[in-house]
């Protein structure tokens, strides 16, 4: 079932002094591959994910790619939240493990409630989105995971390109790309919403 | 008509605020991007001043055009951040654009290096960075005056 924990969500909003922002999206998967992956992940070790956008002092944000992705495909980094794990702790832990950065949370953007559908089956997944500011660590060099193969600093044009690539990936990557389009686009929309972040 | 021209404040508004206070008679403040929100802050702090801005390459906004012409006292000023004209390489493209639209002056930043040249009578002005100048320079800005149908400009450095 993977029910949404409203109490916890409002607590996080309160903690960071933001109005609750909940967006809902349905993604229809065309093949069983990624659908089954997500379904298995939810059933076993994760209830959702943190999407962590690191806003660098130069105004650019970090986009990442992995070895197995099609060439030139980047996205805003994400990491799983365990079934009994704290959302905020997960965001900071993932920034350290995946990127090698110590960070503080500058802004909690809100949650994207995603309903993945495949044929007559569906599963709920929750993406909690954060803007982080790094306070230390060396990008990638201090990462304990080696999943990320390359990072790129992108500006508004760069992130627009990242989005257009994700939107329409060929073949088996298409389902995955549409999922990553939604999370990356939510970050893009926030960054361009003229909400000042110091 | 006295205009203060700033660029590339990159999140630091202290120097701009000092300059604006010192030049209380300025009619217009132009910010050439990076970060556009610094221009908005300045506008909040000095609500009686007219502030015009264009976003830079590190600004997250879709609200403002990347370039525009401002007509003042019969003069056309073309303002843009400069990255879309690749000004870090050379000024050919931005100068051509200025001539194409018959501008009297083009203002841009991006390089963090102040520059003031003339191209066939058109002023080509980069005020440098008011906060994070390139190696060895002091923070800089420009004062532009339009008087007796002439444009007079100078680059000012902050010690």
How near does any CA of chain B get to the CA of A60, in Å? 6
Place of tokens 């989005």: A163
Nearest one of A126, A110, A87 to A20, comparing CA atoms: A110
In sequence order, what are the residues at sequence separation of 6 or more whose Cβ sits closer than 8 angstroms to the Cβ of residue A106?
A: A55, A130, A131, A132, A133, A197
What pLDDT shows up at residue B31? 98
Q: Do A59 and B35 touch (CB under 8 A)?
A: yes
Confidence at A194, pLDDT banded by 50, 70, 90: confident
In sequence order, what are the residues at sequence separation of 6 or more whose Cβ sits closer than 8 angstroms to the Cβ of residue A127?
A: A48, A49, A50, A51, A78, A111, A112, A114, A182, A183, A186
The dihedral over CA atoms of B81, B85, B87, B90, expressed in degrees to the nearest 10, equals -160
Q: Which residue of B has its CA nearest to A157?
A: B57
Query: ipTM of this model?
Result: 0.84
Q: Which residues of B touch A196 (CB under 8 A)?
A: 37, 40
What residue spans define the domains of chain A?
22-191
Q: Which residues of B62-77 are buried (b: 16+ CB within 10 A; e: fewer)?
A: eebeebeebeeeebbb
Say which CATH topology domain A22-191 has.
Nucleoside Triphosphate Pyrophosphohydrolase (3.90.79)
Which of B11, B37, B58 lies nearest to residue A60, judging by beta carbons?
Answer: B58
What pLDDT shows up at residue A145? 87
Torsion sign (Cα): B19, B21, B24, B28: positive
What pLDDT shows up at residue B34? 96
CB atoms within 10 A of CB B98: 27
A83: pLDDT strictly greater than 80:
yes
Q: Which residues pair with A55 in a beta bridge?
A: A61
What pLDDT shows up at residue A144? 87
What pLDDT shows up at residue A197? 63
What pLDDT shows up at residue A198? 63
What pLDDT shows up at residue B39? 97
A148: pLDDT strictly greater than 90:
yes
Place of tokens 């993406």: A127
Architecture of the domain delimited by B2-157: 4-Layer Sandwich (3.60)
Place of tokens 């009619």: B27
Q: In what order do the strands lie in the sheet with B67-72?
A: B67-72, B75-80, B105-107, B122-126, B115-119
Q: Which residue of B has its CA nearest to A193?
A: B61
* Per-residue pLDDT tens digits for A88-101: 999 999 999 999 99
Average pLDDT, integer, range A189-198: 80
CA separation for the pair A127, A77 (Å, rounded) = 12
* Per-residue pLDDT tens digits for A34-80: 999 999 999 999 999 999 999 998 999 999 999 999 999 999 999 99
For chain A, the average pLDDT equals: 94
What pLDDT shows up at residue A129? 97
Strands A121-136 vs A78-81: parallel, antiparallel or unpaired: unpaired
CA separation for the pair A140, A99 (Å, rounded) = 5
A196: pLDDT strictly greater than 70:
no
Confidence at A146, pLDDT banded by 50, 70, 90: confident
In sequence order, what are the residues at sequence separation of 6 or more whose Cβ sits closer than 8 angstroms to the Cβ of residue A139?
A: A62, A99, A100, A101, A151
How near does any CA of chain A get to the CA of B62, in Å? 6
What pLDDT shows up at residue A1? 76
Kind and range of the H or E run holding A103: strand A102-118
CA separation for the pair A93, B108 (Å, rounded) = 41
Q: Do A59 and B37 touch (CB under 8 A)?
A: no
Q: Which residues of A touch B63 (CB under 8 A)?
A: 194
Confidence at A5, pLDDT banded by 50, 70, 90: very high
Kind and range of the H or E run holding A54: strand A48-54
Please tell me whether residue B55 adopts helix, strand or coil conformation.
coil
Please tell me whether residue B17 adopts helix, strand or coil conformation.
helix
Assess contact for A140 and A151: CB atoms under 8 A. Answer: yes
Assess contact for B51 and B43: CB atoms under 8 A. Answer: yes
Asked if A160 has any chain B CB less than 8 Å from its own CB, the reply is: no
Assess contact for A57 and B34: CB atoms under 8 A. Answer: no
Assess contact for B29 and B52: CB atoms under 8 A. Answer: yes
CA separation for the pair A146, B88 (Å, rounded) = 35
Nearest one of A165, A162, A190, A166 to A180, comparing CA atoms: A166
Q: Do A155 and B62 touch (CB under 8 A)?
A: no
Which regions of chain B are under pLDDT 50? none
A130: pLDDT strictly greater than 70:
yes
Please tell me whether residue A72 adopts helix, strand or coil conformation.
coil
Which of A59, A191, A192 lies nearest to residue B34, judging by beta carbons?
Answer: A59
């Amino acid at each position: 079932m993977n029910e949404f924990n409203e109490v916890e969500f409002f607590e996080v909003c309160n903690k960071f002094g933001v109005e609750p922002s909940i967006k809902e999206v349905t993604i229809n998967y065309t093949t069983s591959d990624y659908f089954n992956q997500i379904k298995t992940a939810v059933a076993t070790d994760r209830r959702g994910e943190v999407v962590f956008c690191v806003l660098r002092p130069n105004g650019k944000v970090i986009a990442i790619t992995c070895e197995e992705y099609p060439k030139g495909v980047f996205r805003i980094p994400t990491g799983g939240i365990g079934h009994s794990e704290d959302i905020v702790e997960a965001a900071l832990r993932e920034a350290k493990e995946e990127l090698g950065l110590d960070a503080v949370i500058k802004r909690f953007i809100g949650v994207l409630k995603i309903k993945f559908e495949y044929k007559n089956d569906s599963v709920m997944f929750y993406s909690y989105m954060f803007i982080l500011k790094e306070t230390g660590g060396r990008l990638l060099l201090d990462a304990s995971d080696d999943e990320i193969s390359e990072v790129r600093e992108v500006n508004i044009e760069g992130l627009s390109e990242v989005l257009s690539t994700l939107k329409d990936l060929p073949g088996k990557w298409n389902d995955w790309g549409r999922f990553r389009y939604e999370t990356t686009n939510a970050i893009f929309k926030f960054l361009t919403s003229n909400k000042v972040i110091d | 008509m006295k205009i203060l021209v700033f660029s590339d404040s990159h999140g630091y508004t202290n120097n701009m605020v000092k300059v604006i206070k010192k030049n209380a008679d300025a009619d217009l403040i132009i910010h050439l991007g990076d970060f556009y929100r610094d221009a908005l802050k300045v506008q909040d702090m000095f609500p009686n001043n007219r502030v015009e801005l264009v976003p830079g390459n590190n600004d997250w906004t879709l609200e403002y055009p990347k370039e525009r012409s401002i007509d003042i006292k019969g003069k056309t000023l073309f303002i843009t951040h400069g990255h879309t004209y690749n000004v870090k390489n050379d000024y050919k493209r931005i100068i051509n654009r200025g001539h194409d639209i018959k501008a009297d002056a083009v203002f841009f930043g991006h390089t963090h290096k102040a520059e003031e040249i003339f191209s066939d009578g058109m002023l080509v002005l980069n005020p440098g960075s008011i906060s994070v100048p390139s190696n060895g320079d002091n923070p800089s800005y420009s004062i532009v005056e339009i008087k007796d149908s002439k444009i007079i400009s100078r680059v000012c450095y902050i010690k």
